[in-house]
Amino acid sequence: MHVLGIIDRGVDGDAVERVVDRVVDRLSRTGRVGVVRYDATIADGTPVQTRDDGGSVALGGDVTYDLGADGDWTATGTGLTVQDALDRLAVDCDYAVVVGVSELRYPSIAIGPEAAEADGDDSQLAVIDAPADLETAFPTPDQGDADDGLVAALEATEPYETLGSLVERVKRSPKAERSGAIATFTGRVRAKDAEDDARTEYLKFEKYEGVADERMATIERELEDRDGVLEVELYHRTGVVEDGEDIVFVVVLAGHREEAFRTVEDGINRLKDEVPLFKKEVTVEDEFWVHDRP
């Protein structure tokens, strides 16, 4: 699932909703869309927070989320966080649009006269003054051209995945009827190795663009060539990942548990050994790139 934020930078609510409607309409032509709405005025969870590096946002409070472009299914959760809603939508949706959060770690469109102040933010796909400027930022494709500017720009960003979304994906495989096992691995940020260690606040991952994704796809294909292995999904987050958050997932659909367990272990080992990912660790006392450490 790809996540897109709609950020209000000094426009009225009607203008924001017009942009949301147009974005959802465009995305729903390609896949299923979930809309997450955050209301800070009734938030009873963790307030919105951002670090100076822009890498993390904690979102709490009440949200509603809709499934389907026509809003035919809605649910409201008291105390449900934006993260909770995204985790639920990731299982069923191709896209999620987040409305009402002033800062996001995900790609976003900023709207309004104050939008230019945030221009240059790498996470922003577009900065527009008014809803009508959406077409200029993401032009409708010419006749006969299947590419849509908004869809192409959003799908060029890192997808939002959870262990649940990857498991559901392999369950929907045409080969699933031959499967008797699904094995998974989840890697997460460890606060400490030992009791006396300085606490890790977060890790920051960067990847060798293009090469990392290509290598991960190659590993998946090679593992799927094994007897009894039906589907393999590898996913590694980039950017800032905080203490306690998930970093990496390996999901294997297989005929039997033996090949499932063996392939999960080989999958995470090969990912760590062969995929060009660079890790920066930030503790309460220091920060350093792990590959620079002896």
Residue 83 confidence class, pLDDT cut points 50, 70, 90: confident
Radius of gyration, CA atoms only, the chain = 20
Flag whether pLDDT at 61 surpasses 50. Answer: no
Q: Is the dihedral of CA 69, 94, 244, 120 positive or negative?
A: negative
- Residue 195's pLDDT is what? 86
Same fold, 2-155 and 163-292: no
Flag whether pLDDT at 71 surpasses 70. Answer: no
Assess contact for 280 and 287: CB atoms under 8 A: yes
Rounded Cα–Cα distance for residues 214 and 202 (Å): 26
Cα-based torsion angle of the residue sequence 86, 90, 94, 99 in order, rounded to the nearest 10 degrees: 0
CATH number belonging to domain 2-155 = 3.40.50
* 98: β partners: 5, 36
CATH number belonging to domain 163-292 = 3.90.1170.40
Please name the amino acid found at residue 114. Answer: E
Q: Which has more confidence, 74 or 10?
A: 10
Residues in the chain: 294
| Among 250, 214, 217, 224, CA closest to 235 | 250
- Domain limits, the chain: 2-155, 163-292
Mean pLDDT of the chain: 81
Assess contact for 82 and 76: CB atoms under 8 A: no
Residue 252 confidence class, pLDDT cut points 50, 70, 90: very high
Flag whether pLDDT at 1 surpasses 80. Answer: yes
Which has the minimum average pLDDT: 56-60, 109-113, 151-155, 234-238?
56-60
DSSP three-state, residue 82: helix
| High-pLDDT (> 90) share of the chain, % | 42
